[in-house]
Chain A
């Protein structure tokens, strides 16, 4: 591990200035991803600026509805927040499907969004990886691809973004609030994470020195009927093979509103806009759900080792939407204000 200097940030602006001034500096959240990468030599910062104790640890109500989640709110605290559980169950469920009790107690909201791929070649410095060393090629192509992308990949990188929370957030259209060297930026969540293209070393659109300070989740009443479903190799404590986050509103048996996002299948949380478009106004039936999943997956380009993800994802989409249709009917039947 390369030696590094460590400072604990007192305020966000100071943290940004310190990192911006030093090309070898980086932010440290709880370290559950970064410390692992320091040990593996995947990350070699010269200076770590610890932002985990900045006073950004509150989940605040926003006037007019919605929540403002501080960057250092721990995953366990966000998952347990009564407002999140009631108004955005998809987000609580996504958080609770990730990692373990210990890791969720430690992990921060910003760190979770910016965690890096679990691609085995990215994590092994003895193998070529264009995400780690630009231009060195992709060892996963033609290699072990069980956890790799089937959508939006490139010949330079087929890694997936491993976060569950980010997939749950993707259907809520939040805004990521960033303090950069040039001041505050507000980045729509859908624009934060990138596809690999020919520069897979960049996971997000953030620039050096950009500090995430908050994630603002807008009011979205339909999200009370939402869910996250994760399919994995073990019932607990495993990264997603595929996952689906969904919001569904059904009126008179038809899809009034729907949002869908996939995890485990792309370089970023994959918002399934084509499927959503196809579903809107259609009867809430398994046939429609399957057709919508197929429309989104028409562009899938699986590797020999992960072709199973296409039917697996189709099944997960149908299952989640079917469950949410049942839940919507039950809520309508009881007249419950979901």
Chain B
């Protein structure tokens, strides 16, 4: 990486023209527009371009999950998406999850279950957890699902496998897994009492 920065200077950067484009996004419920160099990742567009600091840059190479956001509802890595390639999309970051001043149930579960220490990985963990719950509710299997024809039930092994793309340098994994499991059983309980609620989307 150090070396690429030096190399970068050798390339001429034409102002405007085909290397800059207008990117329109709906971020945490607000329509946002920015002029971006085509090379800008969604993560840099959010943080540096729009001041949305909730998604974090851990590795910038798709390896840590700190930049996880919900892109059109699906958990994705902002560092490996080009901003121009997601023009027109809806982005939800952890900062956009609270409603009317109340934390999202998954955020609250992270607090209740001690699912964090320094908090750097947490916005990504929370977005990823919301994705995990939705994917499980939609019946998506995982690597540890024994019977691919059967329905999916989230247990600790399932949650660990599904959350493995989110690293936590503080090692808060026990609390993180517990938080996701509590949300899963809450979703199952509310789906049982009110079938219309149907768990996570």
Q: Which residues of A contact B (CB under 8 A)?
A: 1-6, 8, 28, 30-32, 35-36, 38-41, 48, 50, 52, 76, 79-80, 85-86, 89, 92-93, 96-97, 99-103, 105-106, 125-126, 235-237
Cα–Cα distance between A290 and B65 once the two chains are bound (Å): 40
- On whether the beta carbons of B4 and A105 are closer than 8 Å, the reply is no
B138 surroundings in chain A (CB, below 8 A): 80
Secondary structure class of chain A's binding surface, majority of residues: mixed
**A101-B7 contact in complex given A36-B61, A86-B149, A236-B143, C-beta closer than 8 Å:** no
- On whether the beta carbons of B131 and A3 are closer than 8 Å, the reply is no
- On whether the beta carbons of A6 and B84 are closer than 8 Å, the reply is yes
- On whether the beta carbons of B38 and A3 are closer than 8 Å, the reply is yes
A76 surroundings in chain B (CB, below 8 A): 135, 140
Cα–Cα distance between A105 and B39 once the two chains are bound (Å): 22
Cα–Cα distance between A74 and B85 once the two chains are bound (Å): 16
Q: Which residues of B contact A (CB under 8 A)?
A: 1, 3-4, 7-8, 11-14, 18-19, 21, 37-39, 41, 60-62, 65, 68, 74-77, 80-82, 84-85, 87, 128, 131-132, 135, 138-143, 145, 148-149, 160-165
Chain A-chain B contacts (Cβ-Cβ < 8 Å), number: 125
A100 surroundings in chain B (CB, below 8 A): 65, 164-165
A8 surroundings in chain B (CB, below 8 A): 85, 87
Q: Which of B77, B87, B143, B161 has the most CB of A within 10 A?
A: B143
Cα–Cα distance between A99 and B18 once the two chains are bound (Å): 33
Cα–Cα distance between A254 and B12 once the two chains are bound (Å): 66
Q: Which of A5, A8, A99 has the most CB of B within 10 A?
A: A5
- On whether the beta carbons of B39 and A1 are closer than 8 Å, the reply is yes
Partner of B165, one of A3, A39, A80, A237: A237
**A39-B38 contact in complex given A31-B85, A101-B132, A125-B3, C-beta closer than 8 Å:** no
- Give 8 A-B pairs besides A101-B128, A106-B76 with Cβ atoms closer than 8 angstroms: A3-B13, A5-B18, A32-B80, A79-B140, A79-B141, A101-B162, A102-B76, A105-B131
Would you mind naming 13 contact pairs between A and B with Cβ atoms under 8 Å apart? A5-B18, A28-B82, A28-B85, A31-B82, A39-B60, A41-B7, A80-B141, A86-B148, A101-B75, A101-B128, A101-B142, A101-B163, A235-B161
- On whether the beta carbons of B77 and A3 are closer than 8 Å, the reply is no
Partner of B75, one of A41, A97, A102: A102
- On whether the beta carbons of B148 and A93 are closer than 8 Å, the reply is yes
B79 to chain A, nearest CB (A): 8
Cα–Cα distance between A38 and B74 once the two chains are bound (Å): 24
B17 to chain A, nearest CB (A): 8
* Residue in chain A with minimal CB distance to B37: A3
- On whether the beta carbons of B61 and A39 are closer than 8 Å, the reply is yes
A4 surroundings in chain B (CB, below 8 A): 19, 38-39
- On whether the beta carbons of B62 and A103 are closer than 8 Å, the reply is yes
- On whether the beta carbons of B165 and A102 are closer than 8 Å, the reply is yes
- On whether the beta carbons of B82 and A6 are closer than 8 Å, the reply is yes
Cα–Cα distance between A32 and B41 once the two chains are bound (Å): 11
- On whether the beta carbons of A85 and B148 are closer than 8 Å, the reply is yes
Partner of A237, one of B4, B77, B148, B164: B164
- On whether the beta carbons of A6 and B142 are closer than 8 Å, the reply is no
Cα–Cα distance between A103 and B166 once the two chains are bound (Å): 11
- On whether the beta carbons of A32 and B77 are closer than 8 Å, the reply is yes
* Residue in chain A with minimal CB distance to B7: A41
- On whether the beta carbons of B38 and A102 are closer than 8 Å, the reply is no
Partner of B164, one of A31, A39, A50, A236: A236
Cα–Cα distance between A85 and B148 once the two chains are bound (Å): 6
Cα–Cα distance between A103 and B160 once the two chains are bound (Å): 16
* Residue in chain A with minimal CB distance to B13: A3
